[in-house]
Amino acid sequence: MSNNLSYLLGRKGKNKSLFEELGEAAVQSGTPNAEKMEALRQEFLVGKSTVYGTVSFYDFLRPENQGKKVYVCNGSACMTAGTQKHLNEKLGKHFKAEEIGEMCCLGRCHENSAFHVNGKNYSGKDIEQLETIKNGNTATAERYNVGCKGTAILTAEYPSIKEYYKIFTSAIQKPSNALISELKDSGVRGRGGAGFSMAFKLESCKNSVSDSKFIVCNADEGDPGAYSDRYIMENRPHALLMGMMLAGYMAGADCGVVYIRGEYPESVEIISEAVEALRKENLLGINILNSGFNFDFKVVKAQGAYICGEETALLSSIEGQRPEVRVRPPYPTQQGLFNKPTVVNNVETLANLPFIMQHGGKAFAAIGTPKSTGTKLVSLDGYFNKPGIYEVDMGTPLSIVINELGGGFKKPVKAMHIGGPLGGLVPVSKIENLSVDFDSFAKEGFLLGHASVVCIPEEYPLIKYIEHLFKFTAHESCGKCFPCRLGSTRGYEMVAKAQTADYKMDMELMKDLLDTMEAGSLCALGGGLPLPIKNALKYFDNELAPYFKK
């Protein structure tokens, strides 16, 4: 990361950024033209390589995106469901081959057959109305189950803005240290995968001296199979926004940035409308309700890059730099967005704050387990009889989620990929050994992560799934560290060759490759990929044996 670039790109303030300007320039053709890139380069005082490096990275900005009119979801859940071949055939009757692109993932994992056209997402049986959709006359008819087993925090309905935000107006009458103490009592940990203490981040940012600070919501929910953050943004937007405002008060931040993945256009629209509703209620701006607290929001629409789910790559993205992972220290709470102290948390984590501030940290800690407090949202894909979003107390047996809430599997399943592409590959034989909490999964050699569930049916070749994981990582790698950049590519090449040529993989070579990626990668993309592949090699050795040397 270049400190000079961060300062340069931040000099126009949060309301005019290079990243958003490039996105607007790509609206008509799918990629910014050379003249516009040159004009922006001069306006922001950066080099040609900076602008081109940024544009060429994102799925929805790079030159290859030019002329695309419809996008097919290539996420893991749609892939294992086997719906996308039929979908492509249908789309091929209405669009030229060069007009069809790919997106990953649209968060329609509950019913698959997902595609994007005219700035909207569709799935399930929507493809049967494609002609009407093309003409802009049909909205999606998406439906999924929402349920709760235990305490309803994130699935609970909330009242009107005036009534709901009494939690916020009451909280900002107290010293910020008192709120941080409640947060410490709650034991709330990050729900995006790492499980890091939220109170530690906020206190670290509070203790950093700066004229301005940021609260950044990582709403780049890129894990295929996960749509819990999308559920919150589209159905409980004010739980998230109030959570960010409370976090801002605790950390001494004056700006909240909601970075929403471009594959979720409905989320961008709903969150933007919710921000405007707050503005009308005079709950944003300077000296809110004469409290001395200043806070406002900026909603940023991303442009298609899984790596932006990593917090430092996300910060570089907002600035307009190529979203490469930053070396730490310094940590974002010390030097983050535009080199200012910044706290980055995901949607579900932030949405817990209103409950904690209303009922107290100890009330939250009383839910779940001592080390995994509160509740967790779980996303179930289309292989369940009752797919959808379910909220459970941490520590709930996984068998209850699978069989009671999800209604069991529609057809025989041999494994579940839980926690996104970097999560553990859990054989169904392990269901009874696991509960929904960080420590249970870690003890068994898995990762709870986002708690998304992608099912792998009995007939789906596991070698194809491993190939998919390597290919996904190779495509999404930021390229900064060679263990991830080269390791994922070499892994993909080996697995593909073992299926198409007279070639057997060397098990020791594969293990060395995975160990190198795990130990040497800068972030969890390269470092996390080995986990599901090691799980597959351990639990499905008989199925995979034909592809390795004896």
Could you tell me the CATH number of the domain that includes residue 342? 3.40.50.11540
CB-based contact 332:339 (threshold 8 Å): no
- The pLDDT value recorded for residue 143 is 87
**191 or 229, greater pLDDT:** 229
Question: Does residue 369 belong to any structural domain of this protein?
Answer: no
Using pLDDT thresholds of 50, 70 and 90, give the confidence band for residue 2: low
Q: At what angle do helices 311-319 and 3-10 cross, to 10 degrees?
A: 50
The two beta strands, 452-457 and 413-418, are antiparallel
The pLDDT of residue 1 is 46
The closest alpha carbon to 295, from 279, 316, 273, 311, belongs to 279
Same domain, 75 and 20: no
Q: How much is the pLDDT for 36?
A: 95
Do 202 and 295 reside in the same domain of the chain? Answer: yes
Say yes or no: 293 and 190 in one domain.
yes
Q: What is the pLDDT of residue 135?
A: 81
379 and 484 co-located in one domain: no
Residue 379 forms part of a structural domain? yes
8 belongs to a structural domain: yes
**Domain harbouring 506, CATH code:** 1.20.1440.230
Which region among 127-131, 291-295, 437-441, 476-480 has the lowest average model confidence (pLDDT)? 127-131
- Specify whether the CB–CB gap between 304 and 262 falls below 8 A: yes
103 and 239 in a single domain? The answer is: no
Q: Which residue among 457, 480, 505 closes a domain?
A: 457
Region 272-279 average pLDDT: 98
**pLDDT for 328-372, tens place per residue?**
899 999 999 999 999 999 999 999 999 999 999 999 999 999 999
pLDDT 10s digits, 207-218: 999 999 999 999
pTM, entire model: 0.95
Indicate whether 161 and 186 sit together in one domain. yes
Q: Which residue has the tokens 């609206």?
A: 27
Q: Is residue 202 part of a domain?
A: yes
- Report the pLDDT averaged over residues 530-540: 98
Contact 164, 242 (CB under 8 A): yes
Statement to judge: residues 105 and 231 lie in one domain: no
- Evaluate whether residue 370 is within a structural domain: no
Report the pLDDT averaged over residues 434-453. 94
Tokens of 309: 């789910």
State whether 119 and 230 are in the same domain. no
Please give the structure tokens belonging to residue 286: 């300077």
368 belongs to a structural domain: no
pLDDT band at 326 (very low <50, low <70, confident <90, very high): very high
Structural domain includes residue 499? yes
Claim to verify: residue 286 and residue 427 sit in the same structural domain = no
pLDDT classification of 134: cutoffs 50, 70, 90: confident
DSSP-assigned states of every residue in 341-405: -EEEEEHHHHHTHHHHHHH-HHHHHTSB-SSSBSEEEEEE-TTBSS-EEEEEETT-BHHIIIIII
How many domains are there within the chain?
A: 5
| 310 and 207 in a common domain | yes
Q: Is the pLDDT of residue 418 over 70?
A: yes
CB atoms within 10 A of CB 431: 15
Residues 452 and 474 in one domain: no
Per-residue confidence band for 10, with pLDDT thresholds at 50, 70 and 90 = confident
Q: Tell me how far apart the alpha carbons of residues 26 and 41 are, in angstroms, rounded to a whole number.
A: 15
Provide mean pLDDT across the span 243-251.
98
What is the distance between the alpha carbons of residues 307 and 319, in angstroms, rounded to a whole number? 15
Please report whether residue 298 resides in a domain.
Answer: yes
Tens-digit pLDDT profile for residues 464-508:
999 999 999 999 999 999 999 999 999 999 999 999 999 999 999
Cα–Cα distance for residue pair 418/436, rounded to 1 Å: 11
With beta carbons less than 8 A apart as the criterion, state whether 382 and 76 touch. Answer: no
Output b/e per residue, 433-456; b: 16+ Cβ within 10 A. Answer: ebbbbbbbbeeeebbbbbbbbbbb
Q: Are 355 and 242 spatial neighbours (Cβ–Cβ below 8 Å)?
A: no
For the chain, the average pLDDT equals 94
Which residues, 6+ apart, have CB-to-CB distance to 157 below 8 Å? none
Helix axes 176-186, 237-251, angle to 10 degrees: 120
Picking from 457, 483, 500, the residue at the C-terminal end of a domain is 457
Regarding whether 167 and 135 lie in a shared domain, the answer is no
Q: 457 Cβ partners below 8 Å, 6+ apart?
A: 80, 383, 411, 412, 413, 414
Q: Dihedral (C-alpha) 450, 456, 457, 462: value to the nearest 10 degrees?
A: -170
**Contact residues for 179 (Cβ-Cβ < 8 A; gap 6+):** 171, 246, 249, 250, 357
**Which of 11, 42, 65 finishes a domain?**
65
The residue range of the domain holding 398 is: 375-457
